[in-house]
Amino acid sequence: MTASPDVQEGPVVALPVYAGVSELELGIMVAVCRLCGGEGATRTVNRSRASIVTAGGLVSTPHVLYAALPEPAALLLPGGPGAQKAARDPLLRAFLTRHAALPTGASGSGLLLLGDAGTLRGRVVGGPADLTDTLWGYAPDEVRPGEVATDGSLTTTPGGLPALHAALAVAAQVWGEDAAREAARRLGHA
């Protein structure tokens, strides 16, 4: 008997998505997880299965609702111009708070999602230089503007291509260092 493509036998990484999400960051994160865990290693999740418009105008439909998501092994949070509005969603905040102990990677304005959920308090965070003052408002121990920072199982990065670092850090925790190194090699990243 063959499993359907929607059935994932291994770990699942959840990617909350929202109107205005960066398709570049989302695509990087999905690609890394797919290289490490195969098809179905990620699930995009939202409060609704209604299609959303990404930052670049592409239309995407989330895989599942929060309530239907299998228990995730990790979280990846792409940024985008819609992050500030999405961060106010009580369902998303509750989801992030409930899964705060999981390996997590956030890039760019995706850090706002964690900040509003209260999960940056007491942490060392990297991120976009233009969000430095906002990030300090979430009471982290340290903010490293324009840098990638890892604090325990949390990796935070500036937006855009540095999202690769967040995705690789999470992949290493979920599928192992060797799988993450191989994904980096296949993507042409030293």
Sorted by where each starts, the structural domains of the chain and their CATH numbers stand as 15-183 (3.40.50.880)
Our measurement of the distance from residue 166's CA atom to the centroid of its chain's CA atoms, rounded to an integer in Å, reads 8
Report field, pTM of the whole predicted structure over 0.85: yes
Q: How far apart are CA 127 and CA 110, in angstroms?
A: 9
Residue 65, classed as helix, strand or coil, is: strand
Positions of E strands within 54-152: 59-60, 64-65, 74-77, 104-107, 124-127, 142-145, 149-151
Provide the residue-wise pLDDT of the chain in tens; the chain has 190 residues: 334 444 557 999 999 999 999 999 999 999 999 999 999 999 999 999 999 999 999 999 999 999 999 999 999 999 999 999 999 999 999 999 999 999 999 999 999 999 999 999 999 999 999 999 999 999 999 999 999 999 999 999 999 999 999 999 999 999 999 999 999 999 998 7
Q: How far apart are CA 145 and CA 135, in angstroms?
A: 10
Place of tokens 């995705």: 167
